[in-house]
Each structure stands twice: as structure tokens, then as C-alpha cells.
A and B are shown apart, each in its own frame.
Chain A
Amino acid sequence: MTTAISVSGVVKSFGRSRALDELDLSVDVGEVHGFLGPNGAGKSTTIRVLLGLLRADAGQVSLLGGHPWRDAVALHRRLAYVPGDVNLWPNLTGGEAIDLFGALRGGLDKRRRDDLLERFQLDPTKKARTYSKGNRQKVAVVAALASDVELYILDEPTSGLDPLMEAVFQECVREVKRDGRTVLLSSHIFSEVEALCDRVSIIRQGRTVESGTLSQLRHLTRTAISVETARPISGLVELPGVHDARVDGAHATFDVDAAELDRVLQHLHRFELRALTSSPPSLEELFMRHYGHQEARAELAGV
């Protein structure tokens, strides 16, 4: 088995609104898979379907080789889940909640638990009622990471953590990956996804719009270029694949489609290059391109 999660054509409606509209998702064993999408795109709904908390209306779902609804209990012993909005029992302490989740999941590693508490600087004697959002999230993260499981399903696990804790979290995910475990990481934080994920799926309105490695995705998008040449530049704007070009004599800034980069650079050579800076597209730009501009969406639909 090399596929940890396989979802194809899943549909889930709530009343008249369609939360998942033939969504596809494939996560390989041993990879950290980024799961991106704007608010309300269906990330949490997908995760709830994977956990057997919601039942899909149509489509195929397979999780660790089993069926998430039918084999829920057996599968849950092999995975750990951090919800997007961590709610704890107000009158239980953080330590009690961690032990409880661990026990219900089938046991947790005491040494790892204490080590994680130390690293996340979490006081386990406080009642959950007094925890901030970030501290509640730490409880769920510690409980999940201290469990010896094959798959971690993390729904925006760092949205309430400060940058220091975010770094600790990234370190922990790398350790988990080194042990050959699988992680599905839903996130809004691009730097986190870029730093951790092998592959990324981007969803919008309940559909998967992009899926692949980061370099594959980058290939689909544009690089921002700024050049200075010895002689005034001409003929750049007309080249295929060049966008938003601003030519000012011997200076030009523009975006170029990855596929046309080589041809455009050859064109620029004619004017004798003096300086060139290129910035690869960030995941954020990729994301913004899918969601930010109406025209970009229309363009994407044509691809």
C-alpha cells in the first residue's frame, strides 16, 4: 500500500449548499501533504469525511486501506487528528485532556508526551477554561504527536501559535516524517506549507483545482523578472508568455510563464544583459492567482 488517503469524486451537500463537489485528493504513504484553500473551500468538511464523522453523498474514499465510515474505530486507532477549532472540557486540565485523548486513541508515549510539553512550553496543570486559543491548540497537537500512529490529520494546527512555537511545530512534523509517517496538513500559512510539504493540493468551492509537488505547481505559474540591458529593449511586450511588462528604455520588469522563460531570455540577450533579478513564484502568489483575481480564474478555466 503506497496510498494513505485516496479520495475521488466525493460529493457532500448540506441542504442546498454543496460543500464538496467531486473532490479528489491523493496522499502517499510517508509524505507531508499540504491541503490549501480559502475559508469555506471545504477543507474541514473533507477531513470530517475522512474521519467518518460525516458520510459522503457520493464518490470513493479510502483511508489507510479501509473505509472511513465502516471501519471508523479501527482506522482511528491508527491516526491522530488535530481539529481546526480545538474545544476542550473546561474543567479538565490540559494534562488530563492529553492523557484522555491518548488513551482513547489506544495509548500514548509518556516520554514523548513530557518531551513535547517541554518543547511547546505548555503548563499541563491549568484548567482548559483558562487556556488561550494557542494553548488549547498545543494540547491537541501534543496529544496527537505523542501518539504512535501512521497518519496525522492536522487541520490548521498552527493558526493560534506564535512564531517560536510554529518553529517547534515544524521541527516535530519533520521528525514524524523522518519516521516514515504520513501527514495531511491543512493550512493557511504558506511559509509553513513550503517548508514542510512534499506535495500540495489546492481546493476551491469543494473541488480540487491543483495538485502536485511545489515545483510542478511553480511550473504552472510565472516568474517575476527585472532586467537592465545595455541597449533599449524592444519587442518584449509582443512575446508570448510575457505579462504585465513595463519597459522603460534599457530597464524592464515583467512576469513570464515558466514555459516561455528560456525564449524570453534569449530575446533579451540581443540587448546585452547587464543585470537580472528573478523571483520564483511563492506559494502565496500561486494561491492568489487562483483566488485573487477574477481574470486569473477565467484564465485557469481555459488551461
Chain B
Amino acid sequence: MGGTLTGTVRLARLALRRDRVQLPLWIVGTTVLLSGTYAAAQEQFPTEADRLTVLRTAVETPAILMLRNVPTGTSNGEMMAFQIFPFLVVMAGFMSTLAVVRHTRQNEETGRTEMVGSMVVGRHASLTAAMIVTAGANLVLAALLALTLIGNGEPTAGSLTLGLAVGAGGLAFAAIAAIAAQVSQTARAANGIAAAAIGAAYLVRGLGDALGDIRPNGYTMTTAWPSWLSPIGWTSLTQPFAGNRWWLLGLPLALAVGGTWLAFALTNRRDIGMGMVAARPGPATAAPGLLSPLGLAWRLQRGTLLGWAIAVGLFGVTIGSLSSAVEEAFDGNEGATRTIRELGGEGSLIDSFYSAMLAIIGAMVAGYAVQALLRVRAEETGGRAEPTLATGVHRLRWLGSHLAVTVFGAVLLLAIAGISAGLVAGLAAGDTGGRLADLTVAALVQLAPALIMIGFVLAAFGLVPRLAVGIGWAGFAVALIFGQLGELLNLPQAVRDISPFSHVPALPAAEASATPLVLLAVVAMALTAAGMALFRRRDLAP
């Protein structure tokens, strides 16, 4: 190696110092989610009979299986794992991929690596430091999760299996992010690839669970083969508190080691600052379409939108193609039908499946909206807003252009999701027109929470620009947890109502009602107007 690792310790300490708030927040947040779900599960399902009812329904309902986990039993630990386990791995995954990209590609992009690289620092030091810090964070997270469960009186073996599975899953995604950071030229693209990998792993695992076979006891399942293709599936297959098959953790750990090795191999083959693909020359003059604030905003945002469109389209197709399986599952199962109705589902069962899935689409699109709109803050900190606003472009026109592209993107994504789901489901059921119309409308209703998030981010951007990124994502996380996970965590209704997601009519299962949508739109517009007015009056804050 001959000094390629020189300076690793220093860089790792620097990374830890930069992350002294961020990583603890992720770790504590994930732990709180686990203990919240653990407590809520016992409150919601106090008796063995309650639990059996829920699990018997769940194994028959692909929508629930996709979002939760395959049930393995009725103990406290198993109920918690059923509710939240894959999501904990997703949290560890995002914590890890964001950290790895932050300390590798983002440093390179901003030129910090060049500065550091000129000092006594080896070629592999940067990536090694990033992986060490991320591995440490996952280890701390694993320990904290296990200790929380042991502290609640859960068996040690199961607690350790669950904690270590979450940590191992995080490490596997860290390695994927390390490769992505070598291949792509920007931190944004690397984060996008890593997020797509996490999303795909979650979805593939969901398919494995949804397509699994029910065991003779009627409330536990054997997962289907797709789970073996997903790092999140591997963690789920360890079955904490049931099988405790901890040796399966060899799979995510092997991916972590192999991926990290590949990332190191890639660092030997490229120059600092460059990706694997050499930059090609571009046009010497600008196309007329670029030459306006709107054209510029579109150019800056279209790549992100394309990535989201592919993700949302694939998800839509998955929803559509699962619908016939869902319908079959419910045919002749009156017990399950009655239970799911009692649990709050209205309309037909297939419609409640659609509603649950479209709520996820709604959350995804709201996330897109936050990401897309925060682009304006990146333009401001990156020093590109300044020369733009020193031309004849009005501030409101500049901000309005990004707003327009974001809203257009959100509508487009929802339409793609609704149309792809409706088309595939309709073709299978022989009712293309009906399903297409139903699902497209049901998807577009999800625009309301996205608009609220847009208004919220704009208001933060206008009022406290330097905190806008943190506030924007924190607001999104709160909306998501209170709205989408509020039931899981057994939160009081008043708290859940803070979230815009709690107010969207669950089409197509529920009756369409205009009142909440109009109210949401009014709030969104008020926030947007406030944000625009505040931005107009404030200093530029690079």
C-alpha cells in the first residue's frame, strides 16, 4: 500500500467533527422509531388474540406485507419487527449512504479533496476514513437498538440479531454509495444512485413478502425468492426473535466488503475530481430554450425529475401488476375482508390496497418536491444566484421559475404513477378505462400534501435561508412520521393532524371530498405567498 492510507485517522476525525450533530440525530432518531413502535404495538395489540387477528389479516394482504414485514410470531419483539424492521434498515441505509457521499464525492466536488490531497494524505485515505466513520455509526446504531430491546426485557439473541442486521444493512448500502461516489461526478448523482438502490431493495423485499406462502398456522409466512435478491430482504430473513439466523448477516457483510473493495479498485483508475466517464464537449452556444429563468430552472432540474419519473413509474407498474394477486387473495376469504374493513378500510379491498400504495407515492412525490425546491438554496449558497439576480431577472421570476418546475414535476410524477398503475391493473382486469381514470384521479389528489411541503420549504427559504435545508427536510420527516406512521406509533389524532398527509382523502377507497383538498390548497398558497414575499425583502445569503 506504501502510504496510500496516510492521514486516514486525521480525515476520520475531521469527518466525525463535521458529523457531530448529523450522525447522532440519525442514530437517536432510528432508535426512537424502534422504541416508539415497540411501545405502540403493545398498546394497540395487548392480547394474543388481537395479535393473531392482525397477523392473520396481514398475511392475506399484500399491501400490508409490502409496507411492513413478514410476520414471524406474536411476541412483543416479533410484533415490533413485523411493523418496522425493514424501515429501520432503510433509515440505516440513508444514514450510511449520505455520510459516505458527504465525505468522498461531495468533498471532491467542492474542491476540498484537492486541498487535502496536496497535504500528507494517501490516495485511499478519504474513502477509508468515510467507511470507518460510517461503519462506526452503524455499529453504534446496532448496539443502541439491541440495548434498547434488551432493556425492555427482550431475549438477548433476538435483540442482537435485529440490531446487527440493521447495522449490517447500513454497511451494505454504504458500500453501494462508495461505488456510486466513484462512478458519478456529482454528489447529487451519487446520492441519487444510492437512494435508488435503497428504494429498489425495499421494493424487491416487499415483493418477496407479498408473494410469500402462508404457513399452516395461518399467521406466519415463508418469504418468496425475491427477498433473497435484496439487502433489506437478507436482513429480514434473519428473523430476529424467531429463527435468529444471524449467519445470514454474512450476505450484507459480504456485499459491504466486496463493494468497498470495488470502490477502492475504482479510485486507482481515475483522477481526483473526475468520474469514470470523461466529460465530453458540449454546445458552444446555448439553445433558445435555455435562455430564460424558466429554461434554466428546467435544465437544472430535469435530470432529477427523470430519475424520479423512472422510480415512480416502476412503482406504479408494480402496484398495477400486484392488483390481480391482491384480488385473488381476498376472493373467498370473508374473515380477512371483514377484518380489514374493521381496521378502517372502506370501499372494496382492492381499493384499500390502491389507497395504501398511493399514499406511499404521495410521500415520495412530496419528498421530490422538497428536494427540487431546495435547489434554489443550492443555487444561492453555490454563488450562482448572485450573478443571475444581478441581471435583469426579478427575484420573484427567478424563484417562481423553480417553483413552476417543481409543481409541474410533482403533477407529472403523480400522473405517471396513476397512469402506469391504472394501465397495468386495467389490462389485467379487462377494465382499462375505469381503472385508468380511478387511479389517475386518486394519484393526483396526492398533489395536496406535496403543495403544502412546497409552501413550507418556500417559507423557510424566505425567512431563515441558512436553515432552509435542515428545516425543509425536518418538516418532511415530521409530516411523514406523524401522517404516515402515526397509526403505527399510536400517536394521538391531534398530533397526526399536524401532517398534511393526514388530511388527504384516501382515494379510491374513501369518498372523494373537496373540502380538505381546498383547505390544503389554501394553506399551501398562503405559505408560498409568504415565502415569496419574504425572499423578495431579504438579503441574499450565500
Contacts and interface: CB of A to CB of B under 8 A. Distances in A.
Interface of B is mostly: loop
Contact of A101 (B285, B387, B540): B387
B290 A100 contact: yes
A96 B283 contact: yes
Contact of A105 (B286, B383, B391): B391
A99 B290 contact: yes
A42 B283 CA distance: 38
Nearest to B388: A104
Contacts of A101: 387-388, 391
Contacts of A81: 387, 390-391
A72 B386 CA distance: 13
Interface in B284-301: 284-286, 290-293, 296, 299-300
Contact of A54 (B383, B388, B539): B539
A138 B186 CA distance: 24
A267 interface: no
A124 B285 contact: yes
Contact of A125 (B282, B291, B537): B282
A51 interface: yes
B18 interface: no
B382 interface: yes
A95 B386 CA distance: 19
Interface stretch (A86-94, A161-169, A226-234): A86-94
Given A54-B539, A89-B384, A103-B292, A73 B393 contact: yes
A126 interface: yes
Given A99-B286, A103-B291, A53 B386 contact: yes
A165 B354 CA distance: 64
A83 interface: yes
Contacts of A95: 282-286
Given A100-B286, A127-B282, A140 B291 contact: no
A139 to B, nearest CB: 10
A87 B382 contact: yes
Given A93-B284, A95-B284, A125-B282, A48 B540 contact: yes
Contacts of A191: none
Interface in A95-126: 95-101, 103-106, 123-126
A74 B393 CA distance: 9
B392 interface: yes
Interface residues of B, number: 32
Contact of A104 (B185, B283, B293, B539): B293
A76 B383 contact: no
B389 interface: yes
A18 B279 CA distance: 44
B392 A96 contact: no
A140 B387 contact: yes
Contacts of B300: 89
B216 interface: no
Interface string B327-349: 00000000000000000000000
B279 A73 contact: no
A86 B390 CA distance: 13
Interface string A59-90: 00000000000001110110101010111111
A222 B152 CA distance: 83
Contacts of B387: 81, 83, 86-87, 101, 140
Given A81-B390, A87-B382, A101-B391, A93 B282 contact: yes
B281 interface: yes
A129 interface: yes
A96 B539 contact: no
Interface string B375-398: 000000011101111111111000
A101 B394 CA distance: 14
A72 B536 CA distance: 11
Contacts of A87: 382-384, 386-387
A101 B286 CA distance: 10
A278 interface: no
B390 A130 contact: no
Nearest to B397: A73
Interface string B177-193: 00000000110000000
A114 B282 CA distance: 17
B539 A99 contact: no
A77 B392 contact: yes
A96 B290 contact: yes
A96 B291 CA distance: 9
A127 B279 CA distance: 7
Nearest to B395: A72
A83 B386 contact: yes
A92 B387 CA distance: 15
Given A83-B383, A88-B384, A96 B393 contact: no
A81 B386 CA distance: 10
Interface string B511-542: 00000000000000000000000000101100
Given A93-B283, A127-B282, A104 B391 contact: yes
Contacts of B539: 53-55
Given A93-B281, A100-B286, A103-B291, A51 B390 contact: yes
Given A95-B283, A96-B282, A99-B291, A76 B391 contact: yes
A297 B279 CA distance: 52
Contacts of A74: 392
Contacts of B283: 93, 95-96, 125
Contacts of A48: 386, 540
A273 B104 CA distance: 70
Contacts of B296: 89, 100
A101 B296 CA distance: 11
Contacts of A76: 390-393
Interface in B393-414: 393-395
Contacts of B537: 55
A99 B539 CA distance: 27
B540 A53 contact: yes
Nearest to A125: B281
Nearest to B280: A127
Contacts of A99: 285-286, 290-291
Contact of B392 (A53, A105, A123): A105
Contact of A53 (B382, B384, B390, B393): B390
B272 to A, nearest CB: 13
A77 B539 CA distance: 20
Nearest to A50: B390
Contact of B185 (A53, A55, A83, A129): A129
Contacts of A90: 186
Nearest to B392: A77
Contacts of B292: 103-104
B270 to A, nearest CB: 14
Contacts of B395: 72
Contacts of A92: 282, 286, 290, 299
B485 to A, nearest CB: 37
Contacts of A106: 391-392
Interface string A111-155: 000000000000111110110000000001000000000000000
Identify the 9 closest CB pairs spanning chains A and B, nearest first: A87-B383, A99-B286, A103-B291, A93-B282, A104-B391, A125-B281, A77-B392, A96-B286, A95-B284
6 contacts: A81-B390, A86-B383, A88-B384, A96-B283, A101-B391, A125-B282
Given A83-B383, A96-B286, A103-B292, 11 more contacts: A48-B386, A73-B393, A76-B392, A76-B393, A77-B392, A87-B387, A89-B300, A92-B299, A100-B290, A104-B393, A129-B185
